Structure 1
């Protein structure tokens, strides 16, 4: 069971996922077919019975044509976009199953193409995405501490603190924490 703040974020995320499906007039079966996620898992995610994993959210972001940051910013209470977001107000989302913590650093704004995200992977964490949320998404990954292996287009890149990897994401990607320390990194994401 998460904290009250985590539970509230999960509840708002569940409601937003249901809204996105209804806005398009899709049934759970149609979203299941488009995403490759079972109807029962989708239903449980929309009712906040489960906290979706990063991989599941990535699949749904792909179906709904948005980045994970945009989806998470849509569950924020802010009505008007703001140019400044203080550290204590930044959205933090945790995939407890994989050991991945994601902080949306950039102020949320639906009209902008770039955003900054802080990622943290626990020792031994292995996070795989079967597709990008938006094909051709540009990413700049800068490792702040620890070691990270990033696989894209069947090529593994091993990164240490200070290293930066730039890539366009067209297919599956994988992020693995190397060593016995947490990997912490900044991800700059730019929509195509």
Structure 2
């Protein structure tokens, strides 16, 4: 999580995201303590994320998505103003986890009646993202590296991918995305719900 210490107003996406997270918790009738127990995230961190006092990291959002049965793209898509059949480059939502060196662009966000989505990911050289579980068990992923080098570990198997390579898999357990460098890695992630 990233805390605002400069006195600036919360990012509008963080405000909408916090509101949606609070709605999802309320829909299930969970208290903050119950959600903390289910996610392994402290009650105060969850509360601060819901109030947009902090900007959640990719790892935190992944844990919340897992308990709510959503992909990260679905969750972020739910906080967009409205879905559209054509997603213009200027309208594609970009989310940044500065601490992790990760930038995520929702190229083709989730849409009613569609099971797939496209995400552009950028990892800075040396960045290492670990997810302790998939947001939806059995999630199908296709990872196509456009630039740089990417190491993806799934089901205890590490895959080294160079520009042009594509890894196809179903995600059942922890995954790890690492950019060994020397340059940044840019990739397309196609996600298909089971």
Q: Please classify the TM superposition score into its range, dividing by the shorter chain length.
A: over 0.9
- Structure 2 equivalent of residue 8 of structure 1: 12
- Structure 2 equivalent of residue 177 of structure 1: 179
* Cα distance in structure 2, aligned partners of 1:178 and 1:95: 18
* Alignment gaps of 5+ in structure 2: none
Runs of 4+ in 1 over 3 A off after TM superposition: none
Contact 1:84–1:107, Cα closer than 8 Å, also in 2: no
Contact 1:62–1:134, Cα closer than 8 Å, also in 2: yes
Once the two structures are superposed, the pairs formed by residues 36-55 of structure 1 within 5 Å of their partners are 36-55=40-59
**How many residues are matched?**
189
- Structure 1 equivalent of residue 81 of structure 2: 77
* Alignment gaps of 5+ in structure 1: none
3-state SS of 1:133 partner: coil
Contact 1:82–1:108, Cα closer than 8 Å, also in 2: no
2:22 to 12, 18, 33: 18
Change (3 A) 1:166 1:11: same
TM value normalised by structure 1: 0.94
Q: CA RMSD in A?
A: 1.6
TM value normalised by structure 2: 0.93
3-state SS of 1:29 partner: helix
3-state SS of 1:167 partner: strand
* 2:157 aligned with 1:159: no
3-state SS of 2:85 partner: coil
* Cα distance in structure 1, aligned partners of 2:47 and 2:14: 14
3-state SS of 1:42 partner: helix
